[in-house]
Amino acid sequence: MSFTFAIGKGKARTAEAAARQAVDTCRQEYAGAKPDLLMVFASRVYNHAVVLACIRKEFPDTPMLGCTTAGEIYSQGPDEGSVALLVMSGVSAEVAVGGKLSEDSYGAGKILAQKFSSAPGDLLFMLSDGLAGDGAAVLQGVRDHLAAKLPVIGAAAADDGQFRNTLQFSGTRVLTDTLVGAKVRGDFHFGVGVRHGWEPVGLPVRVTRSCGNRLCEINDRPAIQLYDEYFGEFCQRMRNEPMARLAVYYPLGLTVPESDEFLLRAPIAVEKDGTIQFTAELPTGVDVRLMIGSVESAMQAARIAAMEALSQMRGRTPKLAILFNGIARRRVFGLRAGQEIKLVRDIIGSEVPLVGFYAYGEIAPLEGTDPSASCFHNETLVILTLG
């Protein structure tokens, strides 16, 4: 069976009404094809048990996964406070749940990977808690224990920019502090574009002490002093509020030999001793740079990512594009966020439907590397084209 899909959108005052709107939109587009996989991207404002139960009534036997977001993405542009539903047909899919990220990030990824059968797959969708554990370690746990090498594509769940608690979905189960995944195989080609556009400022500094995603010292001084030097009094607010609300614009960048872009790591909290918690590891001994984004550089990155995804389609025309986009990008663009989405559509084809969400981390291969060697990113646009 050929690959087909439908995209639904719901936005209402109640969870039941929003879910029904999303299902009704899909039903209009679906034309009776057998659904094989459901993906749900939803604002944190809803009762998600109700959302998932309503969707399950329409699709009682279809594998389903999803998560909460920091804004949803559609062909018409970005939105918030909505429920996005993607229904895929013509694929085979297995959905599984990993372990507890806060207990053992690597082990949580290992648990997910070992739940999948040894049957062939084309790619693995992965959605993890964006505020728990080490994003890089959990991804490594998945990659090390999959029965076969697969590109891993996905994102870290968000909570509308509150940085308090994110949720993951498996079937009608509403979870937190974990990851969900779907191994997918079908008659489609896919392309992946991955870019951020953030640029380094100042000189490289050395990570002299770290523990997983906790950065303790830079150049033998408390890590927070790097931000103190650049931002002064502004940095004091980072100590009193969730750091991610303020510092999400200013990640640290690691150089990667195989790529011409830095791999970004976003700070999410600062401890009393000046240790900074990041979304993923910053290994002891590596050099890092403070990174800053602008509208112009982020727009150029979106252009390049869209062209990369399109070029990997082996001459096929995309039928669908799924976007996983860093929350900082939306904040940098502000009221111009829709221009980024329009630019992507202009390049991959204005007739190609889009769906996705703004996230607390993105998962995809680095440009120029082995396509199965996915990495954990921040502030990055990931474009997956399918056709």
Spatial contact of 26 and 115, defined as CB atoms under 8 Å apart: no
* Arithmetic mean of pLDDT, 295-320: 94
Q: Pick from 287, 198, 178: which is nearest to 248 by CA?
A: 198
Cβ-Cβ contacts under 8 Å for 246 (sequence gap 6 or more): 234, 237, 238
Tokens of 141: 């746990």
For the cut 90, the answer to whether the pLDDT of residue 240 exceeds it is no
Nearest to 65 by CA among 18, 112, 134: 112
What distance in Å separates the CA atoms of residue 17 and residue 10, rounded to the nearest whole number?
Answer: 7
Mode of pairing for the β-strands spanning 252-254 and 287-292 = antiparallel
Band (pLDDT 50/70/90 cuts) for residue 234 is low
What is the pLDDT averaged over residues 23-37?
84
With 80 as the cut, is the pLDDT of residue 12 above it?
Answer: yes
| Structure token digits, residue 219 | 């150049």
Tokens 């969400």, located at residue = 357
How does residue 370 score in pLDDT terms, banded at 50, 70 and 90? low
* CA–CA gap between residue 89 and residue 84 (Å, rounded): 17
pLDDT in tens, 124-164: 999 999 999 999 999 999 999 998 888 999 999 999 999 99
Answer whether residue 274 shows pLDDT above 80: yes
Strands 221-222 and 72-74 come out as unpaired
Output the pLDDT for position 33. Answer: 78
pLDDT at 147: 86
- Check: CB of residue 317 under 8 Å from CB of residue 1: no
Cβ neighbours for 144, distance < 8 A, ≥ 6 positions apart: 109, 110, 113
Identify the weakest region by mean pLDDT among 290-304, 339-353, 357-371: 357-371
Q: In the chain, what's the furthest Cα-to-Cα distance? A: 63
Burial of 241 (0-12, 13-18, 19+ CB in 10 A): middle
Query: Which residue did the predictor score with more confidence, 373 or 370?
Result: 373
Sequence-ordered list of residues with C-beta below 8 angstroms from that of 210, at least 6 positions apart, any chain: 216, 217, 281, 282, 283, 284
pTM to 2 decimals? 0.94
pLDDT at 308 over 70: yes
The β-bridge partners of 96 are: 181
Q: Which of 166, 198, 154, 165 is nearest to 293 (CA)?
A: 198
Q: What average pLDDT score do residues 203-210 get?
A: 95
Q: Is the predicted pLDDT of residue 244 greater than 60, yes or no?
A: no
pLDDT of amino acid 73: 98
Q: How confident is the model at residue 31 (pLDDT cuts 50, 70, 90)?
A: low
Report, as an integer, the average pLDDT of 102-113: 97
Mean pLDDT of 353-379: 87
**For residues 62 and 149, is the Cβ–Cβ distance under 8 A?**
no
pLDDT given for residue 355 in this prediction: 98
Mean pLDDT of 223-251: 71
pLDDT at 369: 56
